[in-house]
Structure 1
């Protein structure tokens, strides 16, 4: 799945994102609206990861969808 598909199907993918990043609230995931940079920033902040680590984790998640 590519990022455009993620954005287009975001309401269906919120649950999968919550499974992947359980510390994020549903509101935080919904606010991202499938935007890579927003969700990466939330992952980075909530989990104390570097920007690069959060980006790699997000990209891996999208590739596995």
Structure 2
């Protein structure tokens, strides 16, 4: 996966993101539009976690959940 862009069907990915991070709103997901940096920023904002933890969570999500969406 390109580290700056989440590839594939964004509509399907949005559902997986909301299952994993329930604090993300539909408006957040509209802003993110598949951009990994935007996702990281929104997760930091919504959950108050550090960048390294955000990166770890996104990687874990990508390895587990995103592969099932593709």
> TM-score per shorter chain, which class?
0.7 to 0.9
Q: Which structure shows the higher helix fraction? A: 1
Question: What TM-score, normalized by structure 1, do the two folds share?
Answer: 0.84
> Could you tell me how far apart the structure 2 residues matched to 1:61 and 1:3 are?
14
| C-alpha RMSD of matched pairs (Å) | 1.8
Q: How many residues align?
A: 64
TM-score scaled by length of structure 2: 0.79
Matched with 1:17 is: 17
Separation in 1, partners of 2:2, 2:12:
14
Runs of 4+ in 1 over 4 A off after TM superposition: none
Where does structure 2 lack aligned partners over 5 or more consecutive residues?
Answer: none
Match of 1:42 in 2: 42
